Amino acid sequence: MTTASLLRPRDGDALRAEIRWVATEAGVPVVFGGEVHDDTLLLSEFVGTMTNGLRGLPVLRTSGLGGRVMDMRRPASVADYRSASSITHHYDGPVCGEGIRSVLAVPVLVDNRSRAVLYAANRGGTPLGDRTADLMVRAGRRLAAEIAIRDEVDRRLRLLELTPPTLDTAPAVAEELRDIHAELRGMARTARDEQLRTRLHDLCERMTRALNGDPSPEAPRLSRRELDVLAQIALGCTNQEAAQRLSLGPETVKSYLRNAMTKLDAHSRHEAVVLARRHGLLP
């Protein structure tokens, strides 16, 4: 098993969290969804269903409402599923068995590819309102952002596995590792999944130890946020650039940098980075 597979949490857990959020916020009777694998949507997460007909159902591209939005890459809805002429009716059995009539489907797009589909549904004839649609779109965007972060982490880990350092390339690889380290800290800062954040921080610490060894015993204790900021400053970022990368305010970045400099007894940004590396706190 590769490092990437060990690091990446199940995307289904993030999908389940968004489905539960929509069900709570929108008060919709039925919310469900699934991930897309090889152009097939597999329904796996449900809130409010009363039968098992939809559980594990594979939905093919262009088939049914879910297959249609997966192919069009934009939300779509039907007010009455039974009589809808805009979709195929390959899945009438499980859908009608659940008593579903009004349905909204929202694709989760990453790099313009459908990676999952979220559904909200009513059993009565009342169409789903604009508020429900807005909540579904928000949930889809959050999930897309989370999956994109996980994809980028996996991509960078694969690059590291494919390009082991040699004597000739060691300095360049060290700089690349520092860049990756800083980006991973930024991803950890914005990731919504707590397990992913923890694993990203653990990976950053492993990278630091791989380049520097264990921190020195007299190393000051810097917080994660202070190290996040220092890692960006080490790449030459301004406070404004670090703030954008970490989704923080410029004044907040200044505060964390000031705290780090005080703990390191540094008199400049550059000295703070040098001392942090000397103590083994940054790669």
Same domain, 95 and 234: no
Mean pLDDT of 211-216: 72
Contact between 152 and 187 under an 8 Å Cβ cutoff? The reply is yes
| Domain termination site, one of 116, 150, 184 | 150
Same domain, 230 and 114: no
Same domain, 126 and 17: yes
pLDDT digits (tens, 9 = 90+) for 62-109: 999 999 999 999 999 999 999 999 999 999 999 999 999 999 999 999
**97-107 residues labelled b (16+ CB within 10 A) or e (exposed):** ebebbbbbbbb
Nearest to residue 34, comparing CAs of 10, 51, 4, 50? Answer: 10
Mean pLDDT of 213-234: 85
Same domain, 11 and 112: yes
Same domain, 117 and 208: no
CATH code assigned at 261: 1.10.10.10
Would you state the pLDDT for residue 164?
55
Same domain, 189 and 134: no
Same domain, 146 and 7: yes
Measured CA to CA, the distance from residue 167 to residue 37 in angstroms comes to 41
Same domain, 61 and 91: yes
CATH code assigned at 29: 3.30.450.40
Same domain, 170 and 138: no
Is the overall model pTM greater than 0.85, yes or no?
no
Looking at the 3D structure of the chain, how many domains does it have?
A: 2
pLDDT digits (tens, 9 = 90+) for 39-53: 999 999 999 999 999
pLDDT digits (tens, 9 = 90+) for 109-134: 999 999 999 999 999 878 899 999 99
pLDDT-derived band at 184, boundaries 50, 70, 90: confident
User: Per the domain annotation, does 272 fall within a domain?
Assistant: yes
Same domain, 242 and 170: yes
Q: State yes or no: pLDDT of 198 exceeds 60.
A: yes
pLDDT-derived band at 162, boundaries 50, 70, 90: low
CA–CA distance from 100 to each of 69, 120, 161 (Å)?
18, 10, 48
Same domain, 9 and 102: yes
User: Per the domain annotation, does 158 fall within a domain?
Assistant: no
Range of the domain at 12: 3-150
User: Per the domain annotation, does 33 fall within a domain?
Assistant: yes
Measured CA to CA, the distance from residue 211 to residue 276 in angstroms comes to 13
Would you state the pLDDT for residue 171?
63
Q: State yes or no: pLDDT of 1 exceeds 70.
A: no
Same domain, 215 and 85: no
User: Per the domain annotation, does 116 fall within a domain?
Assistant: yes
User: Per the domain annotation, does 283 fall within a domain?
Assistant: no
| Domain termination site, one of 122, 150, 178 | 150
Mean pLDDT of the chain: 86
Four-residue CA torsion sign, 147, 226, 241, 231: negative
